[in-house]
Amino acid sequence: MSDYPPFQYGKSRFNQDTFRGRFRHFLDVIDPSTLFVSEKRLQDCIKLLDSFRQGTLPPGVTDAELWEAQKIKQAIIHPDTGEKILMPFRMSGFVPFGTPVVIGLLLPNQTMATTIFWQWLNQSHNACVNYSNRNATKPAPFSKFFQGYLGAVTSAVSIAVGLNVLIQKADRLSPTTKLLVQRFIPFPAVASANICNVVLMRHTELSDGIDVLDDSGKVVGTSKIAARHALLETALTRVVMPMPIMVLPPMVMAVLEKLPLLQRRRRLVLPVHSLVCLAAFGLALPLAISLFPQMSQISANQLEPEIAAATDCQILTYNKGL
């Protein structure tokens, strides 16, 4: 018996209503093996999916082959533009291309210049990933994304540099304590930058509202209240997402560096640090993203009166975004 459910075009093969289902789905999304798919294999997958949609599927094609073809296409081709996404900016490339940046962010004994450089590089990589995977169904000016990028870089650099200066001036802290505290500075800097990016790039939703759907997927109306909920939930998601990636490695390394082996062989510290960051990034990222469902629910009574009056459904849904 196949482990694959019947194929559904454009859907996830995992249940998105459960944490386990969302976790398995995002493991598929960030799977780096799709980075090595050849052009011929990609075109074969696209042709297979086109055949399915046109009802001309060759005999003998299994659900497993269809799900794998969709996974490959979704990993490489933008769903709205139909264009290939550059490899470093695909979701499947987020961990392998983002890990060196995380390692740089969490290196001990940072100078002012290296702090600024790594925070800038991290926000630049994030901005490129966000833009490359943006929702392109409704055209948005590039200036909107650039505004979010500038705000994220400014807030990240300001907080990281400001906290470093405060720690250096904290005379009551011992050098060892200062070094330990400095390792955790990237988290508040990255988290605040993420919030700033959300607010700057999506603030128009507060005035325009977002679509709310009934249980059949039909748009009931456009709600500013749902937009406010969506922005708050997204901001919370953006704070939780970097937490295990930015907090776990410093905690683990603080313990590992006390081991006799690393005390004797200091050259091993950087390779071990890199492996810890890679493990934290690869495992913690899908866990953090999976905490919250993409589609959130809200009671119709909490929304605008005209929306509540337009439907018999008591619970409506909306896309909160990531």
In tens digits, the chain (322 residues) has pLDDT values of 457 889 988 888 998 888 899 999 989 988 999 999 999 999 999 999 999 999 999 889 999 999 999 999 999 998 878 899 999 999 899 889 999 998 998 887 788 899 999 999 998 998 888 888 876 666 677 887 788 888 888 988 998 889 888 887 877 778 778 777 888 888 888 888 888 877 877 777 788 888 888 877 788 888 899 888 888 888 887 788 788 888 888 889 889 988 999 899 989 998 999 999 988 888 877 887 787 777 788 898 899 999 888 888 888 888 776 6
149 in the same domain as 262: yes
Task: Looking at the structure, tell me whether residues 112 and 181 fall in a common domain.
Answer: yes
pLDDT number for residue 282: 85
Helix axes 242-256, 94-105, angle to 10 degrees: 50
The alpha carbon of 205 is separated from its chain's Cα centroid by a whole number of angstroms, namely 20
Residue 150 and residue 229 share a domain: yes
pLDDT at 321 (0 to 100): 65
**Nearest-angstrom CA–CA distance, 165 and 162:** 5
Enclosing domain of residue 55: 19-77
Residues 6+ apart with CB under 8 A from 139: none
Please say whether the beta carbons of 318 and 223 come within 8 A. yes
Q: What is the 3-state secondary structure (H, E, C) of 82-124?
A: CCECCHHHCHHHHHHHHHHHHHHHCCCCCCHHHHHHHHHHHHH
Alpha helices in the chain (DSSP H): 19-29, 39-54, 63-76, 94-105, 112-132, 142-169, 175-182, 186-202, 204-208, 224-240, 242-256, 260-264, 269-289, 305-309
Mark whether 44 and 191 lie in a shared domain: no
* DSSP code, position 59: T
Q: Please, are residues 63 and 56 in contact by the beta-carbon 8 Å criterion?
A: no
Q: Specify whether 60 is located in the same domain as 129.
A: no
83: in domain? no
Question: Quick one: 108 and 224 in the same domain?
Answer: yes
Residue 8 lies in a domain: no
The confidence score (pLDDT) of residue 117 equals 95
Residues near 87 by beta carbon (within 8 Å), at least 6 away in sequence: 35, 93, 97
Residue 10 in domain:
no
* Domain tally, the chain: 2
Note the Cα 3 to chain centre separation in Å: 27
User: Quick one: pLDDT at residue 142?
Assistant: 81
Tell me, yes or no, whether 238 lies in a domain.
Answer: yes
Residue 24 inside a domain? The answer is: yes
In a domain, 9, yes or no: no
Q: Which residue has the tokens 């495992």?
A: 283
Q: Are residues 31 and 141 in the same domain?
A: no
What's the pLDDT score for residue 208?
A: 82
What is the predicted pLDDT for the residue at 227? 87
Residues 41 and 97 in one domain: no
Q: DSSP letter string over 228-257? A: HHHHHHHHHHHHHTHHHHHHHHHHHHHHHT
